[in-house]
Structure 1
Amino acid sequence: MKSEALKILKEYYGYDNFREGQEKIIDAILEKRNVLGIMTTGAGKSICYQIPALIFEGLTIIISPLISLMKDQVDSLRLIGIEASYLNSALTSDEYNKILFRIKRGKIKLLYISPERLENKFFLNFIKTVKISMVVVDEAHCVSQWGENFRRSYLRIADFVKYLSGETQIQTLAFTATATPKIKVDIIEKLNIINPFIYIDYFNRDNIYFKVVDNSGLDKDLDIDSKPFIIDYLRKHKGKSGIIYCSTRKNVDDIYSYLVGFDRSVTKYHGGMSKEEREKNQKLFLDDDVEIMVATNAFGMGINKSNIRYVIHANIPADLESYYQEAGRAGRDGGSAEAILIYNEKDRDIQRYLMEKEAEGKTDRNYLNKRLKNFNKMIEYAELKTCYREYILKYFGEKMIRNYCGYCENCKKEKNIKDFSLEAKKIISGVGRAKESLGISTLANMLMGKADTKMLNKGLDKISTFGIMKEDKQEWIESFINYMISEKYLIQSAGSFPVLKLGEKYKDILNGNIKVIRKEDEKIDFDYYENDLFKELNSLRKEISKQENIAPYIIFSDMTLIEMAEKKPRNRWDMLKIKGIGNQKFKSYGEKFLERIINYCMEERI
């Protein structure tokens, strides 16, 4: 059966070999063992049960918490020629009955359902008549009351498996991305997984750069502190996909409105919105129609979008499990990504207060202590002076070979420190000479000496600070201005057309009493692979996704497009050597992408 599994991997998924964790889990499944797989986001959990489902006789049932996750998985499987379907409340009765008919005839190999479906007597009666090969529990941590994502409906799963099993228990598989040792034990007990093969993946996501922006020393108002950092960061990474998490619906609405005011490509998601609006906005983000999703933690579980380049937490999360799982939604394709936590003491105190208020209605006396204990670990992380990655890995019970990862903010903190007092003086002089009348972009243009119509009409080319920073790039100047706003050296007015005014400490900078010492920007390079051919292929993928109403990453991942752009295959055989392209994918899309590559090479005479 192992050779059959490898054949399916190549034919349908386009890969020659399994990853280490996938191979061990699939070997155990093929030996008919129950399995608990704790694998980081992007480690390829789905393949672990999808391939055995195709080998075994009968139907595999996958219990999944979200409708959107079911749809993505089924779309991906159908695209490569695998018969799969889902049952949820969005289906009409006619659609529902057609799926049951196909299940009964053995035409469907994988069926996705929600845990709430286990309450439906009609479904229970029907499924008892079908040969079941495996029951798979996705996002298995939802069964644990020790976790923040506990769902009571998951507690019915063990009884459901017993109901289906009869004399011999049906093979049960459980998968999750994050689980502490306590949650791991809880999953096994609550799901009644007998003698499981347990595989715990390496928790290290070495492509993610971890960073904390500490606002504790400033005025702790979110409106003042977080937003300049966020808008500056987004300007540097325009065109990249990312998520901004907020702890409350109000903060989501505030940051969303702020970014809309700066004409950013943004949408939002939280529980106060209608179901239709949430689904519409989620689709916009998954289909790459907008770059930025501002959301509460109601968004993201099971999201398979692979090209998210950054995750920013505008507020401190309640626990480290939630933080690492949400941060792990960046860089699923293996490319460079960033996870940034914006932290301040006021935000910390608000979180504690909300936990105390929530605990007032609980009968469990240990509830608050448990929440605060988890929260204190999150605070320790936010206030850490040593390696962020080492702290996370130790929390999840994994050891690092050394106490230095070399790829987080604390490990790089002592590098590239520079005195920017001269640049600060030039900017302050520019604000003063222009009589505090300019916005960020206009000020930067004036300091660079850009003599456009707007500059000439205002007479800005006549003042002494015109062109005094002509050697610097506009992107850097605007970034440094935002930094000066966050440090209160400058003040940005409110309104539709905000202008810059001098802060209370500007004289100390001019007189040399305060030095502006700052670490040079450590910008993570997300664009190292984006040549013109990649952009052509990305554009083609977007066209196809619109025509077929599926998310672009389901067609091909960014990493597959990158390899196409690098290797420039000219025929079917060369195309099939690229990771992520199997025979089924090639039949659907290979010729279209080959044509675009060949045309590009002819035009560029490559």
Structure 2
Amino acid sequence: MAPTPLDVLHRVFGYSEFRGEQAAIIDRLVAGGDAVVLMPTGGGKSLTYQIPSMLREGTGVVISPLIALMHDQVEALRAVGVPAAYLNSTQSPEERREVEQAFVDGRLDLLYVAPEGLSTPRMQELLRRGRIALFAIDEAHCVSQWGHDFRPDYLWLSNLAELWPEVPRIALTATATEATHREITERLAMHDAAHFVASFDRPNIQYRIVPKDDVRHQLVDFIRTQQAESIDAAGVPVPAAGIVYALSRATVEKTAEYLRAQGINALPYHAGLEASVRHETQTRFLREDGVVIVATIAFGMGIDKPDVRFVAHIDLPKSVEGYYQETGRAGRDGQPAVAWLAYGLADVVQQRQLIDKSPGDRAYRQRMGQHLDAMLALCETVECRRVNLLSYFGQASQPCGNCDTCLAPPAVFDGTVPAQKLLSTVVRLKRERGQQYGAGHLIDVLVGKRTPRVEQLGHDALATWGIGQDLSAAQWRGVVRQLLATGLLAVSDDGYGTLQITDASAAVLRGERSVQLRQDVVDASAARLARRANGDRGASVAELPEEARPLFEALREWRAQTAREQSVPAYIVFGDATLRAVASARPTRLEELEGITGIGAKKLDQYGEALLEVVAQSARDAA
């Protein structure tokens, strides 16, 4: 009898059951139907096209936008005995010829290619010479011209339906709004596809957003707290790996240098570095414990590292989609992780200026402005972060009890009078002086600070001079930031970051609209939040009894040594969940390893005896 998807899942990948809609998606593809799949990072998207590629006649062709991701996925497949390969620009002509011949001969279950390569006549001719089981379009949101990660070559992929009409297609993404979902369907001509939308919730990630106040010191405190609190499911302290995102290359370099000076093992990563340096950085991040990468958004999309314990942003992301995708690189193993963001007024002004200077047309700038508005709404909400985030993707939810606004609810106050004072100052300066000014100068006027510029311009004679002394300058920056977020203030397009009122401001100035503002929560509660995150690990995490922990550590040491010998990341050998299961079961025969999660036939044959020896040696040491 032909093997079933469940047979392959158990025999090859070592798992006993499918999660969510994985089985339904696989059945759809095996039967020859198309599918559009929205599933969060860590939800098991890869299995939904890998297993059908193994069951259908021919080779599954996977279109992947990143070379690093291709390499990691091929290595992981080969480790469980699946014949897989990739074709990309890193290979020599001889290596390419070998892979091409293997495809033509039908010796591959999966072949990974880049979208840029697939559209070439040479690649199309190669595919016609072989048998194609299916096309899998990974990171399908890249087809959206309004999205955060648009790749023009993805638009060509709509031709697959005409060139290979009998071959089923699956488009997958971990981040898409309802509008992007529709665009994926239309631009890839997948009108007859079945749609599978999983929950976007990542309950193991704790979201924290704090106002900037000496962000480098804040970042160091945050990382040190994470590393001090980082323990695995066995209760053993482990160095915490993390990613820090910054907007510019210069900030990346300076931040990495600062972190290293503070004793944190930090490495920079951005597109301006030599390719060999970027490769070495990625390799160290994958294979060493406790490495912190400081990067632009060029890093991470192709990194399949399951045990990233935190993702930090020290600059405001441009969109909620980008933020969700980047934070989704934390906690792919299901263990607790933290997404931390520090942002301030300067971030808002900078992003507005970047949008105004964008080479795109008016519609493009308007769309980018909407992305930013949604990101600001997430930052300034006084409600549950997770509810706001999931709502953006069209998913209703309840307060999570595991984000900063749930664990330490911010105080809210009637900010109508402060808003009126600020808006009135903007109006008076414009009316009396005919000019607009930035936030710093407006705040100087409100708090009555006599700077040379204030005195030179005579702004100490304004009616609003000094009327805001009941708030500090830092508090006034928070007011400005929140008024920008709610559309009661706008950044002028003059290129200088000056502020102006909006149509909505008039109702506030007339007293017809009240303004509720959040009292900025100082990040003093960070340590308490971290303790809560690590103390409440959730029912899905298997805690080990005290007597099993020495064996678990011995298994980790064996895995690290094995991974070094094979020059692969540790998780390709076995994940922590598998090692925990072995430590709990203490098997003494190969048959007892069968059925343990993550141990398929190939890994049982390759590592089974070694695992039993580690278990036996641990027992001898304890005797």
Q: Partner residue of 2:587?
A: 569
What amino acid does structure 2 have at the position aligned with 1:347? D
CA contact (8 A) 2:245 2:315 kept: yes
- Given candidates 576, 580, 590, the residue that maps to 1:558 is 576
In structure 2, what is the Cα distance between the partners aligned to 1:194 and 1:31?
17
How far apart are 1:602 and its partner, in Å? 2.4
When the two structures are superposed, what TM-score results if normalisation uses the length of structure 2?
A: 0.76
- SS of the residue corresponding to residue 406 of structure 2 reads coil
What amino acid does structure 1 have at the position aligned with 2:47? I
Alignment of 1:46-85 (within 5 A): 46-85=46-85
How far apart are 1:603 and its partner, in Å? 1.4
Q: Partner residue of 1:40?
A: 40
CA contact (8 A) 1:162 1:169 kept: no
Task: Write the deviation string for residues 96-117 of structure 1: whole angstroms up to 9, x where unpaired.
Answer: 1111111111111210000011
Q: Partner residue of 1:405?
A: 400
In structure 1, what is the Cα distance between the partners aligned to 2:227 and 2:351?
26
Q: Partner residue of 1:308?
A: 308
How far apart are 1:146 and its partner, in Å? 1.7
How far apart are 1:226 and its partner, in Å? 4.1
Aligned pair 1:264/2:264, yes or no?
A: yes
CA change 1:2–1:320 in 2 (3 A) is farther
- SS of the residue corresponding to residue 149 of structure 1 reads coil
CA change 1:294–1:97 in 2 (3 A) is same
Alignment of 1:195-234 (within 5 A): 195-215=192-212, 218=213, 222-223=215-216, 225-234=218-227
Aligned-residue RMSD, C-alpha: 2.3
CA change 1:32–1:160 in 2 (3 A) is closer
In structure 2, what is the Cα distance between the partners aligned to 1:564 and 1:351?
50
What amino acid does structure 1 have at the position aligned with 2:405? N
When the two structures are superposed, what TM-score results if normalisation uses the length of structure 1?
A: 0.78
- SS of the residue corresponding to residue 536 of structure 1 reads helix
What amino acid does structure 2 have at the position aligned with 1:134? L
Which moved further from structure 2: 297-306 or 282-291? 282-291
How far apart are 1:26 and its partner, in Å? 1.0
CA change 1:253–1:60 in 2 (3 A) is same
Q: Partner residue of 1:20?
A: 20
Task: Write the deviation string for residues 27-86 of structure 1: whole angstroms up to 9, x where unpaired.
Answer: 211221100010000011111111111111112110000111111111111111111110
CA change 1:232–1:257 in 2 (3 A) is farther
In structure 2, what is the Cα distance between the partners aligned to 1:224 and 1:42?
31
Q: Partner residue of 1:426?
A: none
Q: Partner residue of 1:94?
A: 94
What amino acid does structure 2 have at the position aligned with 1:603? D
CA change 1:256–1:231 in 2 (3 A) is farther
Q: Partner residue of 2:620?
A: 602
How far apart are 1:233 and its partner, in Å? 4.3
Alignment of 1:380-419 (within 5 A): 380-400=377-397, 402=398, 404-413=399-408
In structure 1, what is the Cα distance between the partners aligned to 2:3 and 2:132?
23
Q: Partner residue of 1:140?
A: 140
Q: Partner residue of 2:507?
A: none
- SS of the residue corresponding to residue 73 of structure 1 reads helix
Aligned pair 1:31/2:38, yes or no?
A: no
CA contact (8 A) 1:62 1:137 kept: yes
CA contact (8 A) 1:38 1:200 kept: yes
Where does structure 2 lack aligned partners over 5 or more consecutive residues? 231-237, 411-473, 476-521, 538-542
Q: Partner residue of 2:338?
A: 338
CA change 1:2–1:31 in 2 (3 A) is farther
In structure 2, what is the Cα distance between the partners aligned to 1:568 and 1:14?
18
In structure 2, what is the Cα distance between the partners aligned to 1:334 and 1:228?
24
Alignment of 1:175-324 (within 5 A): 175-215=172-212, 218=213, 222-223=215-216, 225-237=218-230, 239-288=239-288, 291-324=291-324
In structure 2, what is the Cα distance between the partners aligned to 1:135 and 1:396?
26
CA contact (8 A) 1:143 1:155 kept: yes
In structure 1, what is the Cα distance between the partners aligned to 2:224 and 2:250?
18
Aligned pair 1:534/2:570, yes or no?
A: no
How far apart are 1:235 and its partner, in Å? 4.9
- SS of the residue corresponding to residue 20 of structure 1 reads coil
CA contact (8 A) 2:20 2:198 kept: no
CA contact (8 A) 1:285 1:292 kept: yes
What amino acid does structure 2 have at the position aligned with 1:405? C
How far apart are 1:225 and its partner, in Å? 4.9
How far apart are 1:392 and its partner, in Å? 0.9
Q: State the percentage of identical aligned residues.
A: 34
Task: Write the deviation string for residues 344-394 of structure 1: whole angstroms up to 9, x where unpaired.
Answer: 22222222222322x1x22x2211111111111111111111101111111
Q: Number of aligned residue pairs: give it.
A: 495
Task: Write the deviation string for residues 182-241 of structure 1: whole angstroms up to 9, x where unpaired.
Answer: 0001111111113111000011111111111223xx4xx544554444455445546011
CA change 1:585–1:224 in 2 (3 A) is closer
In structure 2, what is the Cα distance between the partners aligned to 1:79 and 1:224?
42
How far apart are 1:304 and its partner, in Å? 1.3
- Given candidates 525, 528, 531, the residue that maps to 1:521 is 528
Task: Write the deviation string for residues 271-318 of structure 1: whole angstroms up to 9, x where unpaired.
Answer: 111111111101110112552111111111132111111111111101
Aligned pair 1:373/2:370, yes or no?
A: yes
Alignment of 1:90-169 (within 5 A): 90-163=90-163, 165=164, 168-169=165-166
In structure 1, what is the Cα distance between the partners aligned to 2:100 and 2:609?
35
What amino acid does structure 1 have at the position aligned with 2:372? F
Where does structure 1 lack aligned partners over 5 or more consecutive residues? 416-485, 488-515
CA change 1:224–1:12 in 2 (3 A) is closer
What amino acid does structure 1 have at the position aligned with 2:599? I
How far apart are 1:3 and its partner, in Å? 5.7
What amino acid does structure 2 have at the position aligned with 1:105? D
CA contact (8 A) 1:560 1:578 kept: yes
